[in-house]
């Protein structure tokens, strides 16, 4: 085939695409004047448009050469079909009306362009994927603004030309909901398939109740993977009624997990972390772990408000109780100041950050408010005129009269705030820090009672109030610590021998070491530990996997336990998009699919990409 034949064949191909209005060809840019447009062509949808060296007549849509010459002028004057259709005797007014009809027809053709079925399917999948990953409501995904956004993106990224006809093609709320639920269900099925190899000996359950329109039981699972990294995944978000007992809670969990193929023995072999309200749930599982965040909060509250047994045993005098009551009043004052700041937009704009929002559900929240208010005091005082008279009095009190008391409270409670934040972190193993945390607190309070304030600025605190809080906390912590501590064997330091002694040790009939080579626990306890060497728990057990295989399996089960149930609350923030009073069309049972799907899509984004 000669070059001329190839050019003619390509021109015919473009002419056919123009007549079919195929997206492989577009002619948007004007060529010299409005009568001709530059023709662009692409072979596949994934490629960019390229110039063809040809132009299209706007009037008759014929493909012509884009080279210089008089052929375009001759076509417009003599050959254009649109021109020949006009009578020779038309006047100027009739000519203008005829041209306006042609333009209006072109606009109609532009607005009647529709999506092909394959394109429409991709758009529906993309919207559903966005909905699953973001947790947004289906009303939002099917709203007019969302449809306009999709249309604008389509016109900007393709040949364009989509208008009202294409807008009506976009998926409805029911279609988006159906596709999103299928995606979420596939993610959940993939999760339980992934967990099947961890259910026997590693998986641990975390549960918590909450309310959004109705009550829900949030169930999470935690386990240590093959890299000895902690993984936390949602397992269920079950609608329920208020006031469920431990027995009813266990039945709900077992029924839902059995639906996904778990056996009763696998479920009952799990540890379970929950709050103290359902502590007897441990009788239905392998063991029960009380939420350590609740325990830390309980410890803080009983420091300021002692138990009745402390009063009966006269561990605290009436003067001590009066001092603790005054400290409690300081915390309440800081909560009121923090609340007023959060409700005043003018003050909020003048602060570098906002104080903690007051809440009565967690006692340590008041200490957080006090900490934030004292740190922001330099920014609050210049705006004191924006407060009410009572608010000004409270700020002056915290800034002058009770300043030392506030710093004394923060000195005592700062470790509790730190530990509370550590135990709520789900990115690393924290179970090994629970008992050392209580020991550290016990030793810290003991030092304060012995007047050991090393590293503390004595001018900023009141030692009498610090000792009263330490005295109140000391006995309570000792009651919480285990009483039958097993003795820990001291690890022997390594000895250095010369080469002859090493060779003699290899040839002797009995080994020189006192540790049994076949006993993993003995070898583990005899292992020397260098106190100057820094290594994480995860790296250590990953390194010792082949050296202590039995202990490694025990460690994976033990360290899969999460001592805090705070992770369960993340489900309720996601569900708030779906279950408020404006979105009651969504059934409660359907909410579980979307909530879990959203959690899994953010935890394993590559899973969602595989489904899409």
Beta bridge partners of 240: 215
Write the pLDDT tens digit of every residue in 181-193. Answer: 899 999 999 999 8
How far is 380 from 576, CA to CA, in rounded Å?
33
C-alpha 568/C-alpha 466 separation (Å) is 35
Residues 4-29: what's their mean pLDDT?
82
Cα dist from 252 to 189, 233, 478, 569, whole Å: 19, 18, 37, 18
For helices 144-157 and 117-134, give the axis angle rounded to 10 degrees: 130
Amino acid 494: pLDDT: 46
Please state the rounded mean pLDDT for residues 33-55: 81
| Helix, strand and coil percent figures for the chain, each rounded to 5 | 60, 10, 30
More confident residue, 330 or 17: 330
Q: What is the pLDDT of residue 497?
A: 46
Q: Given a cut of 60, is residue 123 above it in pLDDT?
A: yes
**Confidence label for 125 from pLDDT (cuts 50, 70 and 90):** very high
Compute the half-sphere exposure of residue 325: CA atoms within 13 Å on the CB side of its CA: 7
Rounded Cα gap, residues 499 and 510, in angstroms: 19
pLDDT score for 507: 43
pLDDT value for 372: 92
Residue range 556-579: average pLDDT?
Answer: 75
pLDDT of residue 155: 85
- Can you say whether the dihedral through the CA atoms of 63, 67, 68, 70 is positive or negative? negative
Handedness of CA 174, 176, 179, 182 (dihedral sign): negative
61 contacts 67 by C-beta, under 8 angstroms: no
Model pLDDT, residue 243: 65
pTM equals 0.67
The answer to whether residue 471 scores a pLDDT higher than 80 is yes
Can you tell me the mean pLDDT for 3-13?
82
Q: Pairing mode, if any, of strands 271-274 and 204-212? A: parallel
pLDDT tens digits, one per residue of 261-297: 888 888 888 889 888 778 888 888 888 888 888 788 8
Query: What's the pLDDT score for residue 183?
Result: 92
**64 bridge partner residues:** 55
> Residue 245 to residues 144, 251, 346, 608: CA-CA distances in angstroms?
45, 10, 47, 36
Checking if the pLDDT of 103 tops 70, the result is no
Per-residue pLDDT at 483 exceeds 60: no
Please give the pLDDT value at position 408: 92
Q: Dump pLDDT digits (tens) for 340-382.
A: 998 888 888 888 998 988 887 777 888 999 999 999 999 888 8
% of the chain surpassing 90 pLDDT: 12
198: pLDDT strictly greater than 80: yes
pLDDT higher than 70, residue 84: no
The whole-number average pLDDT for the span 457-467 is: 90
The C-alpha atoms of residue 196 and residue 192 are separated, in whole angstroms, by: 6
Burial (CB < 10 A; 0-12, 13-18, 19+), residue 489, is exposed
Edge-first strand order for the sheet with 287-290 is 230-240, 214-224, 204-212, 271-274, 287-290
Say which residue, 1 or 118, is predicted with more confidence. 118
Choice among 398-407, 440-449, 475-484 with the minimum mean pLDDT? 475-484
The yes-or-no verdict on residue 478 having pLDDT over 70 is: no
Mean pLDDT estimate for the chain:
80
Alpha carbon separation from 397 to 341, 348, 392 (Å, rounded): 16, 21, 9
Average pLDDT for 75-93: 58
Tokens of 17: 């695409």
Q: How far is CA 524 from CA 100, 141, 321, 495, in A?
A: 91, 57, 49, 17
Query: Hey, what are 48's tokens?
Result: 């960019």
For 47, the token pair is 């490629």
DSSP 308-367: HHHHHTTSS-HHHHHHHHHHHHHHHHHHHHHHHHHH-HHHHHHSSSPPPPP-SSSTHHHH
Could you tell me where the beta strands, DSSP code E, fall in 202-312? Answer: 204-212, 214-224, 230-240, 271-274, 287-290
């Amino acid at each position: 085939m000669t070059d001329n034949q190839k050019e003619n064949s390509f021109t015919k191909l473009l002419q056919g695409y123009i007549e079919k209005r195929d997206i492989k060809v577009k002619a948007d840019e004007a060529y010299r004047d409005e009568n001709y447009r530059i023709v662009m062509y692409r072979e596949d949808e994934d490629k960019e448009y390229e110039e063809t060296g040809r132009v299209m007549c706007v009037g008759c849509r014929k493909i012509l050469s884009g080279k210089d010459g008089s052929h375009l002028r001759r076509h417009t004057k003599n050959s254009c079909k649109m021109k020949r259709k006009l009578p020779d005797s038309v006047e100027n007014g009739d000519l203008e009306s005829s041209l306006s009809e042609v333009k209006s027809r072109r606009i109609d053709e532009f607005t009647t362009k529709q999506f092909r079925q394959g394109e429409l399917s991709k758009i529906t999948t993309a919207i559903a994927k966005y909905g699953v990953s973001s947790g947004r409501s289906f009303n939002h995904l099917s709203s007019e603004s969302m449809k306009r956004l999709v249309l604008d993106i389509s016109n900007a990224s393709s040949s364009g030309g989509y208008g009202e006809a294409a807008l009506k093609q976009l998926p409805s709320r029911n279609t988006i909901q159906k596709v999103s639920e299928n995606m979420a269900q596939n993610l959940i099925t993939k999760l339980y398939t992934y967990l099947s190899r961890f259910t026997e000996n590693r998986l641990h359950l975390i549960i918590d109740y909450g309310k959004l329109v109705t009550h829900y039981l949030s169930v999470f699972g935690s386990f240590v993977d093959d890299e000895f990294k902690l993984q936390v995944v949602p397992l269920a978000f079950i609608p329920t009624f208020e006031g469920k007992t431990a027995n009813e809670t266990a039945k709900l969990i077992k029924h839902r997990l059995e639906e996904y193929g778990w056996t009763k023995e696998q479920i009952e072999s799990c540890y379970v972390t929950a709050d103290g309200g359902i502590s007897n749930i441990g009788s239905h599982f392998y063991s029960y772990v009380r939420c350590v965040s609740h325990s830390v909060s309980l410890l803080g509250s009983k420091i300021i408000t002692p138990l009745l047994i402390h009063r009966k045993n006269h561990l605290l005098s009436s003067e001590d109780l009066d001092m603790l009551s005054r400290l409690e009043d300081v915390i309440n004052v800081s909560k009121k100041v923090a609340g007023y700041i959060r409700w005043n937009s003018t003050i909020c704009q003048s602060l570098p950050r906002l104080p903690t929002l007051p809440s009565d559900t967690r006692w340590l929240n008041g200490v957080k408010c006090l900490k934030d208010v004292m740190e922001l005091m330099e920014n609050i005082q210049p705006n004191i005129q924006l407060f009410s008279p009572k608010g000004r009095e409270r700020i002056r009190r915290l800034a002058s009269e009770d300043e030392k008391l506030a710093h004394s409270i923060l000195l005592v409670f700062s470790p509790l705030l730190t530990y509370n934040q550590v135990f709520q972190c789900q990115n690393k193993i924290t179970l090994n820090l629970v008992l050392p945390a209580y020991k550290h607190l016990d030793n810290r309070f003991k030092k304060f009672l012995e007047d050991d304030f090393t590293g503390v600025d004595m001018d900023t605190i009141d030692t009498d109030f610090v000792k009263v809080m330490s005295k109140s906390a000391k006995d309570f912590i000792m009651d919480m610590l285990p009483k039958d501590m097993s003795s820990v064997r001291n690890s022997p330091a390594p000895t250095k021998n010369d080469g002859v002694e090493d060779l003699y040790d290899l040839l002797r009939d009995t080994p020189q070491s006192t540790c049994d080579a076949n006993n993993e626990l003995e070898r583990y306890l005899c292992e020397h530990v260098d106190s100057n060497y820094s290594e994480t728990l995860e790296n250590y057990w990953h390194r010792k996997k082949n050296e202590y295989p039995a202990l490694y399996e025990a460690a994976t089960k033990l360290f899969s336990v999460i001592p805090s149930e705070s992770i369960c609350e993340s489900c309720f923030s996601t569900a708030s998009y779906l279950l408020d009073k404006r979105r009651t069309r969504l059934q409660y049972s359907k909410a579980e699919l979307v909530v879990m799907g959203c959690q899994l899509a953010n935890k394993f984004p590559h899973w969602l990409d595989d489904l899409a």
